[in-house]
A and B are shown apart, each in its own frame.
Chain A
Amino acid sequence: MAGGGTVRDALAARLRPWFFTGPALLWTAGFFVLPFAAMAIVSLWTLSGSGIDRSLSLANYSQFFTNRSYFQAMVNSLEVTAIVTVVSIILAYPLAWILSERVPERWQRLALILAVLPFWTSYVVRSYSWLLVLAEKGIVNNALVSLGLLSQPIQLANTRFATILGFVHFFVMLLTLTIYASLKQLPASYRRAAADLGANGLQIFIYVVLPLTLPGIVVGAFLTFVLSIGDYITPQILGGGNELLMPQLIMMQIGRRGDFPLASALSLVLMAVVTAAYLAAARWLKLERT
């Protein structure tokens, strides 16, 4: 009896940690890993006229590379994401710098909270708000016409410009946060040392501040890339149907045609691109650190 007890105790001690980690792991396995595996399998099926053909084939993937409009959606997505990332960094860096250098210490926190407050509105509300701003009779067109800069309203909504603007608005806030954090981590003594050695303001920035805050920028750029390339709402509401980005193409397969196999394949292609970007960013950060 006693011997059985110790074996059971030993087993219980072995299992105890899984009692704590188990629920979360099971949840992730059941509602994240399993759906993912299902998607991978379904992506190898094909939708035919009579229903879903469950024999495995790479038809959906080859369709992505051969059907010009599908491939174009990926090109559009990459272009928009690249422009958004670059423009957001260029706009956010000076703001982060002003916040960390020019604003008195005690006001910085408040200034930062204010700078990212609209960050917390949902994609839907934020995109709708930009639609209001950019509408044909909206506030921008209205102002430009009444100032005499335009003779009649121009189309701003339902364009690629609108999509980019909506994205840039969101990511300027996000990048201001990440760049501000990396500027704050930079010891002031580095800059003083550079100044003592005769560097002027511009030189200090180019040779000291910028290289040392670059990892923060890369992290922010990666976040921007991942979050914008996977977003459906912003291009759908602001860009309209004039050109499709990947998430719109994927949703179209689900919504209009119920073509889950193709939607799954397109999603996995999109994920592969994101993973490649992640590996590139991680590799770069690692090289930078050594």
Chain B
Amino acid sequence: MRKFGRAIAGIYALIIYGFIFLPVIVLVLFSFQGTLFPVPPFNGPSLRWYEAALGDARLTSALVNSLMVAIVSSMVAVLLGFLAAYGFARYRLPGAAFFRGLLTAPLSVSYLIIGMGLLLVFNGMGVPKSLSAAGIGHVVINLPLCFAITYSQMGEHQVNIERAARDLGAKDWQVLTHITAPMLWPALFASFFLSMTFSWDEFVIAFLLTRFDTTLPVEIWSLLRSGLSPKTNAVGSLVFGISVIMVLVLELAVLRRRAS
């Protein structure tokens, strides 16, 4: 009976893992397709579609744009989140609970609505669509995360060290850069990479707020209009690969350290 239960559990896990990985396997496998369509039978492996994808200037520039937007918007989100967390953790503020709630509010609103609101305001002010506009949107969605993660890691034990530094004559900004930030670096690093992955994968805000120069998910979206193609598979596999690298960096550098 026990053995039977074990077998059932194993088979169930295998089926669900299969379900979870099926689309990824199909995506990556047919990115190496030698012929024109990413459907069976598989003729390969061939790298021609990776060559086609990397030789496509629109796609490579979209890839660079995506990385730029992800890096810059994440840096801004981490910086603003860190400063705010420091302010709320170290000072008594009137209405602190309300303001903390305000900072995390965007978490419960869908990206579509955030993007549309920004589009309305930018339209109204005559700000043209651009990568910077999308970057502003990405800061809005990532700032709550960066703030919440950093704030949760700001404990009492750091207060004494900060006070000691201040007694020794350090100015506020010196305390922040030499004491607080280094002590919090796992939290800062985690928020940065989490923001990077979210920005890198985000579609609808970038779709609404950019026009000619756009990010990779939006460019892939326009590739879809021409139907299934191994070239799209190749780009999709690259996007997936980069996301996985970001997650692995996060896992290895931050979470593992905390566990030990």
Contact = CB atoms under 8 A, between A and B. Distances in A.
Nearest to B117: A35
A95 B12 contact: yes
A203 interface: no
A35 B205 CA distance: 13
A277 B216 CA distance: 33
B84 A25 contact: yes
Contacts, number: 233
Contacts of B220: 122, 124-125, 128
B24 interface: yes
B204 A18 contact: no
B244 A31 contact: no
A172 B199 CA distance: 22
A18 B99 CA distance: 11
Contact of B120 (A20, A35, A114): A35
Contacts of A128: 27, 220, 224, 232, 236
B118 interface: yes
Interface in A26-43: 27-29, 31-36, 38-39, 42
Interface string B81-124: 10110111011110000010011011011111110111111011
Among B13, B19, B119, B143, residue most surrounded by chain A Cβ atoms (within 10 Å)? B13
Interface string B53-96: 00000000000000000000000000011011011101111000
Given A36-B117, A172-B16, A124 B221 contact: yes
Interface residues of A, number: 76
Contacts of B17: 114-115
B208 A254 contact: yes
Contacts of A20: 83-84, 86-87, 90-91
A270 B221 CA distance: 24
A16 B91 contact: yes
Nearest to A166: B23
B102 A129 contact: no
Contacts of B137: 31
Interface in A124-139: 124-126, 128-133, 135, 137-139
Interface in A255-277: 260, 263-264, 267, 270-271, 274-275
Given A124-B220, A137-B37, A132 B26 contact: yes
A39 B117 contact: yes
Nearest to B248: A113
Nearest to A121: B240
Given A39-B120, A117-B244, A130 B23 contact: yes
B16 A91 contact: yes
Contacts of A24: 80-81, 83-84, 103, 143, 147
Nearest to A227: B110
Nearest to A20: B87
A172 B19 contact: yes
B247 interface: yes
Interface stretch (A58-66, A183-191, A204-212, A231-239): A231-239
Given A118-B21, A267-B116, A25 B99 contact: yes
A250 interface: yes
Nearest to A137: B39
Nearest to B30: A132
B253 interface: no
A5 interface: no
A133 B251 contact: no
Contact of A137 (B40, B81, B88): B40
Interface in B156-206: 172, 197, 200-204
Contacts of A83: none
B254 interface: no
Given A117-B247, A120-B201, A132-B228, 15 more contacts: A18-B93, A20-B83, A31-B137, A35-B114, A38-B117, A39-B120, A98-B9, A98-B12, A123-B203, A126-B23, A131-B228, A132-B27, A142-B39, A260-B123, A274-B110
21 contacts: A17-B90, A18-B93, A27-B80, A31-B140, A36-B117, A39-B113, A95-B16, A98-B12, A99-B13, A118-B21, A118-B240, A120-B197, A121-B243, A122-B201, A129-B27, A226-B110, A229-B110, A230-B112, A232-B203, A250-B116, A254-B119
Interface of B: 6, 9-10, 12-13, 16-17, 19-24, 26-27, 30, 37-40, 80-81, 83-84, 86-88, 90-93, 99, 102-103, 105-106, 108-114, 116-121, 123-124, 136-137, 139-140, 143, 147, 172, 197, 200-204, 208, 217, 220-221, 224, 228, 232-233, 236, 239-240, 243-244, 246-247, 251, 259
